[in-house]
Structure 1
Amino acid sequence: MHQIDNRPAIRRVLIITLLLNLFVLALKAGVGWWTGSLSLLADALHSVTDSASNVLGLVTNQMASPLPDRQHPYGHQKYEAIGAMGIAAFLGFACLEIVKGIVERIFFGGQLVKMSAPVLWLMLIVLGVNIFVAFYERRVGKRLGSNILIADAQHTMSDVWITISVIAGLIGVWSGWQWLDLVLAFPVALLVFRSGWKVLQENLPWLVDEVAIAPEAIQAIAMQVPGVINCHQIASRGLLGRQVFIEMHMIVDNQDVASAHQITEEVENLLEERFQPVRVVIHVEPQAYQSDQISF
Structure 2
Amino acid sequence: MAMDNRAAVKRVLIITLLLNVFVMVLKVSVGVVTGSLSLIADALHSVTDSANNVLGLITNRCSSPLPDRQHPYGHQKFEAVGALGIAGFLAIACFEILQSAIERIIQGGKPVTISVPQLWLLLLVLGVNIFVAFYERRVGKRVDSPILIADAHHTMSDIWVTISVILGLIAVRLGYQWLDLVLAFPVALMVFFSGWTVIKENLPWLVDEMAIAPETINDIALKVPGVINCHDIASRGVIGRQVFIEMHLIVAARDVKTAHQITEEVESCLEEKFNPVRILIHVEPPNYKSNQISF
Higher mean displacement: 177-186 or 276-285? 177-186
Amino acid of the structure 1 residue aligned with 2:72: P
Q: Deviations over 1:201-247 (max 9, x none)?
A: 00011000000000000000000100000010000001100100000
The Cα of 1:38 is off from its aligned counterpart by: 2.1
Does residue 106 of structure 2 align to residue 99 of structure 1?
no
Contact in 2 for aligned 1:80/1:147 (Cα 8 Å): yes
Contact in 2 for aligned 1:165/1:185 (Cα 8 Å): no
Q: What do you get for the CA RMSD once the two structures are aligned?
A: 0.8
Amino acid of the structure 2 residue aligned with 1:187: P
The Cα of 1:185 is off from its aligned counterpart by: 2.0
Higher mean displacement: 94-103 or 82-91? 94-103
5+ residue gaps in structure 1? Answer: none
- Report the Cα distance in structure 1 between the residues aligned to 2:7 and 2:86, rounded to whole angstroms: 20
Q: Deviations over 1:27-53 (max 9, x none)?
A: 111111222222222211111100000
Amino acid of the structure 2 residue aligned with 1:86: G
- Report the Cα distance in structure 2 between the residues aligned to 1:42 and 1:111, rounded to whole angstroms: 16
Alignment partner, residue 34 of structure 1: 33
Matches within 5 A, 1:233-244: 233-244=232-243
Matches within 5 A, 1:107-126: 107-126=106-125
SS at match of 1:112: coil
- Report the Cα distance in structure 1 between the residues aligned to 2:181 and 2:26, rounded to whole angstroms: 22
Higher mean displacement: 188-197 or 19-28? 188-197
Q: Per chain length, whose mean CA-contact separation is higher, i.e. which structure has more relative contact order (CA < 8 Å, sep 6+)? A: 2
Residues paired across the two proteins, number: 295
- Report the Cα distance in structure 2 between the residues aligned to 1:120 and 1:129, rounded to whole angstroms: 14
Contact in 2 for aligned 1:165/1:181 (Cα 8 Å): no
- Report the Cα distance in structure 1 between the residues aligned to 2:277 and 2:180, rounded to whole angstroms: 50
Contact in 2 for aligned 1:234/1:246 (Cα 8 Å): yes
Alignment partner, residue 265 of structure 2: 266
Alignment partner, residue 192 of structure 2: 193
The Cα of 1:114 is off from its aligned counterpart by: 2.0
Alignment partner, residue 227 of structure 2: 228
Alignment partner, residue 148 of structure 1: 147
SS at match of 2:64: coil
SS at match of 1:248: strand
The Cα of 1:277 is off from its aligned counterpart by: 0.6
Alignment partner, residue 159 of structure 2: 160
| Normalised TM-score (structure 2) | 0.98
- Report the Cα distance in structure 2 between the residues aligned to 1:295 and 1:185, rounded to whole angstroms: 49
The Cα of 1:188 is off from its aligned counterpart by: 1.6
Amino acid of the structure 1 residue aligned with 2:95: L
- Report the Cα distance in structure 1 between the residues aligned to 2:276 and 2:40, rounded to whole angstroms: 45
Q: Deviations over 1:54-85 (max 9, x none)?
A: 00000000100010000000000000000000
The Cα of 1:187 is off from its aligned counterpart by: 1.8
Alignment partner, residue 8 of structure 2: 9
- Report the Cα distance in structure 2 between the residues aligned to 1:39 and 1:134, rounded to whole angstroms: 21
- Report the Cα distance in structure 2 between the residues aligned to 1:166 and 1:181, rounded to whole angstroms: 7
Contact in 1 for aligned 2:227/2:262 (Cα 8 Å): yes
- Report the Cα distance in structure 2 between the residues aligned to 1:194 and 1:115, rounded to whole angstroms: 29
After TM superposition, where is structure 1 displaced by more than 4 Å over at least 4 residues in a row?
Answer: none
Amino acid of the structure 2 residue aligned with 1:204: L
Does residue 68 of structure 2 align to residue 75 of structure 1?
no
- Report the Cα distance in structure 2 between the residues aligned to 1:212 and 1:195, rounded to whole angstroms: 23
5+ residue gaps in structure 2? Answer: none
Q: Deviations over 1:95-151 (max 9, x none)?
A: 111111221121111111221101100000000000110011011101111000000
Q: Deviations over 1:177-204 (max 9, x none)?
A: 0111122222221111111011100001
Alignment partner, residue 129 of structure 2: 130
- Report the Cα distance in structure 2 between the residues aligned to 1:94 and 1:145, rounded to whole angstroms: 27
- Report the Cα distance in structure 2 between the residues aligned to 1:65 and 1:265, rounded to whole angstroms: 27
Alignment partner, residue 212 of structure 1: 211
Amino acid of the structure 2 residue aligned with 1:25: M
SS at match of 2:71: coil
Alignment partner, residue 46 of structure 2: 47
Paired-residue identity, %: 73
SS at match of 2:183: helix
